[in-house]
Structure 1
Amino acid sequence: MGSIFRFKEFEVNQQGCAMKINTDGVLLGATVAANNPTRILDIGTGTGVIAMMLAQRFTDAQVDAVEIDEEAFKRSTDNFQNSPFKNRIQAYFGSFEEVKSNFPYDLIVSNPPFYTNSLHNPDSRKKLARHTDFDFFNKLLVFAQEKLTLHGQLELILPVELAEYVIEHGHAMGLHLRKTITMRSFADSEVIRNLITLGKNSVESTIQDDFIIYEEKGVYSAEYRTVLKPFFLAF
């Protein structure tokens, strides 16, 4: 994959970013189900792709994007400035806990680091981008509880076991599971990711959906093509 990834309404320069555009990120950006959010926070924005996808989808929203890696922050800032959404996206350098906002958020999203307690990556910047421990998620849940509006939601895409941890600890902190999308590569393969939605208000029953990425090897499913059609030139 080259350093420039072109979408229908914007392009992403990935040069210098430890973590490139990936399936998890674009699926999170494309499948978030929010009710016309006006304030959005993207935690760990990386290249900025999720922030720009959400800015494209929710045309009245102001998007804050925070990134702790300096090179990725610089690159995402450039990507935002070169996009049609430059007046609606604000980039912040540092931890999400350092974001200074006078307004609560209707939507907080993250495609977070998830190789917990297995820091084997020799590249220190990739380690920062993709590795963490459970303390990160505990802090994220506390932050979301404080910063979400009453009807706001936190949306994360995670491996199955880590999603279970976040759901359990989120509930203890007053963030209740609203929806889970189980994602599989093929219809008969194991679940590889869960996209979970948490919110302050509990619901009588949670929504459970399945999402299949490939119809067969090398052929994307109809649902994958549908959700990414507004973004991918190939569709």
Structure 2
Amino acid sequence: MADIFRFKCFDVDQAGCAMKVNTDAALLGALTEGRHASKILDIGTGTGVVALMLAQRFPDTHVDGVEIDPLAAATAELNFRNSPFDKRLSLTCSSFQDYLRQSAGKTYDLIVSNPPFFLDSLKNADSKKQTARHADATFFSELLELSFLHLSPKGQICLILPLSTSALVEAEAKRIGLFLQSEIAILSFPSSTPHRKIITLGTPETAVRSEELAIYKAEKQYSDQYRELLKNFLTIF
């Protein structure tokens, strides 16, 4: 049976992908700052949805996706080829560690990721979901250290993370010379405690720009801010 998520400008085939199109990916794709980026890397691209959203938002960019799972990588490649942005999208099936270590001299203006983020938790029995959802502290150290080596002079790294993981990632980033430049707290409702943060890391150290975004204004009612953010992407708006 087909498993297609239809956006306004492209479709995302999700067949065989452990991580389906979800709110985290949509928020990262819609909120990441990249208007001055000519080269973007999407680490752990999965279905390719974040890369596709960035290609739609920024028509002068080229987006590389890297994905370790062969089936997900093949699906993302298909989604890229079937999109209106296929000439500005490319896919490599590899771990990000191998990809970046083998890309000496290659730099990016923006590196994004909706990474595995369940640290020190019970592993999922499904191996594909385990790869997609779980990581350890070494994963984030390697992600930051290798990405830092491939940033252009004003390049940035943008991640969406749970708050507890974000605190650890921000501390690790500072250790290697990357600083928190902006943060967007994601809340279910205006009165809720934030459950995710979109963080932007880069150099130099600057005053941190902080914002909030509530997904809903009431039960089953999307907020005006969320609707406005995703009106060019989701068919429900």
Q: Same fold (TM over 0.5)?
A: yes
Displacement of 1:48 in angstroms is 0.3
Pair 1:187-2:196 in alignment: no
Letter aligned with residue 145 of structure 1: F
User: C-alpha displacement at 1:35, in angstroms?
Assistant: 3.5
Aligned match of 2:226: 224
Large movers: runs of 4+ above 4 Å: none
The root-mean-square deviation of aligned C-alpha atoms, in Å, is 1.1
Matched, 1:161 2:164: yes
Q: Does 1:12 align with 2:15?
A: no
Aligned residue for 2:38?
A: 38
Superposition pairs of residues 61-140 of structure 1, within 5 angstroms: 61-99=61-99, 100-101=102-103, 102-140=105-143
Q: Could you list the per-position Cα deviations for residues 107-150 of structure 1 after superposition, in whole angstroms to 9, with x for gaps in the alignment?
A: 00000001112233110110011011011100011012101111
- Cα separation, 1, equivalents of 2:122 and 2:44: 18
Unaligned residue ranges in structure 2 (runs of 5+): none
Q: 1:151: which partner in 2?
A: 154
What are the residue-to-residue correspondences of 1:207-222 with 2, within 5 Å? 207-222=209-224
Question: How many residue pairs align between the two structures?
Answer: 233
Q: Give the structure-2-normalised TM-score.
A: 0.96
Contact conserved, 2:62 with 2:89, CA < 8 A, in 1?
yes
Matched residue type, 1:176: F
CA deviation vs aligned residue, 1:59-84 (integer Å, no higher than 9, x gap) = 01111000011110010011111111
Match of 1:149, as an amino acid?
Answer: S
> Hey, what's the Cα distance between the residues in 2 that align with 1:98 and 1:55?
24
Deviations 1:90-115 (CA, angstroms, capped at 9, x unpaired): 10111112224443100000000011
SS of equivalent to 2:71: helix
Counterpart CA distance in 2 for 1:120 and 1:4 is 28
Give the percent of matched residue pairs that are identical in Structure 1 and Structure 2: 47
Q: Is the Cα–Cα contact under 8 Å of residues 185 and 212 in structure 2 kept in the other structure?
A: yes
Q: Which amino acid aligns with 2:208?
A: T
Verify the 8 A CA contact 2:170 2:179 in the aligned structure 1.
yes
Distance 1:86 1:212 in 2: 33
* Residue pair 2:35, 2:58 contacting (<8 A) in 1 also: no
TM-superposed CA distance for 1:172, in Å, is 1.0
Structure 1: which 5+ residue stretches go unaligned? none
**For the Cα contact (< 8 Å) 1:113–1:132, is it kept in 2?**
yes
Q: 2: CA distance between counterparts of 1:103 and 1:86? A: 21
